[in-house]
Structure 1
């Protein structure tokens, strides 16, 4: 690749967003690995902390995973006793997902790890810049929907 092509790539908004996302994901994975948890499982724990009792289908959409992948993630988490699934009384084909006490404790243990990564990644940003980045990324996502 010529230096001119590399410069074009570096200036590509899509490339920059993808690259930052991948770097953040890799660093999160590295930090979570020592706790025996995957990034996907961490996302599930966070979703359930905010919306406990969410149906499995909605959870799959929230973490941006296909239903079969979400089922596999939840199966693993259930084996670790981090979550429990109960049939949805409104729809016998669906399941509601809840944190167990062990899952809640695990989440509390991991919050400082997540906060540290976040704080390190936004070091040098003002509150205004952080707000602007979030707003712009939300617009970017909305344009892709």
Structure 2
């Protein structure tokens, strides 16, 4: 027997956001299965691609993650030789993280899969609606583009 969700659940914004996030994770995972990469690992790599080197604390702050999680993410990327972590010569307590050449190549290899994942995710929306959704979510989370 199939259960129909009542509007008191189905139409609630928190429920809709959670379901959209889950769908995004499912689509990402399916399209990137050959690369065995998690969304957070990919986000760290994109951040490092945009910035030559960052402290782990900067990665945590930029992505809204706790520092322990970032440590584990960087550990995983290091094991795959996609990132390298070095002591910051200016502050020996801090680690500076950067992408390796293998990490840059991995990003390039993963990109086509992510393009297809995005196409699948937003297929029900027109380009205008996609832009509107992105703009509304940016406003909702309070970040500048």
Per the shorter chain, which TM-score range?
A: 0.7 to 0.9
Aligned-partner Cα distance in 2 for 1:33–1:52: 27
Q: What stretches of structure 1 move > 4 A for 4+ residues in a row?
A: none
| Structure 1: segments with no counterpart, 5+ residues | none
Asked which structure has the greater RCO (Cα within 8 Å, sep 6+), the reply is 2
Aligned alpha-carbon RMSD (Å): 1.9
| 1:19-43 deviation line (CA, Å, top 9, x unaligned) | 1011111221233232122222111
2:45 aligned residue: 45
Provide the C-alpha distance between the structure 2 equivalents of 1:99 and 1:87, rounded to a whole number of angstroms.
15
> Pairwise mapping of residues 1-145 of structure 1 onto structure 2 (< 5 A)?
6-142=6-142
Determine if contact 1:84/1:98 at 8 Å carries over to the other structure. yes
| 1:89 CA displacement | 3.0
TM normalised by structure 2 equals: 0.87
Partner-residue secondary structure (3-state), 1:49 = helix
Q: CA deviation at 1:130?
A: 1.6
The TM-score, its normalising length taken from structure 1, stands at: 0.87
The 2-side partners of 1:120 and 1:36 are apart by 19
Work out the number of aligned pairs and report it: 141
Distance of 1:36 and 1:71 partners within structure 2: 18
1:57 CA displacement: 0.6
Given that residues 122 and 130 in structure 1 are in contact (C-alpha distance below 8 angstroms), is that contact kept between their aligned partners in structure 2? yes
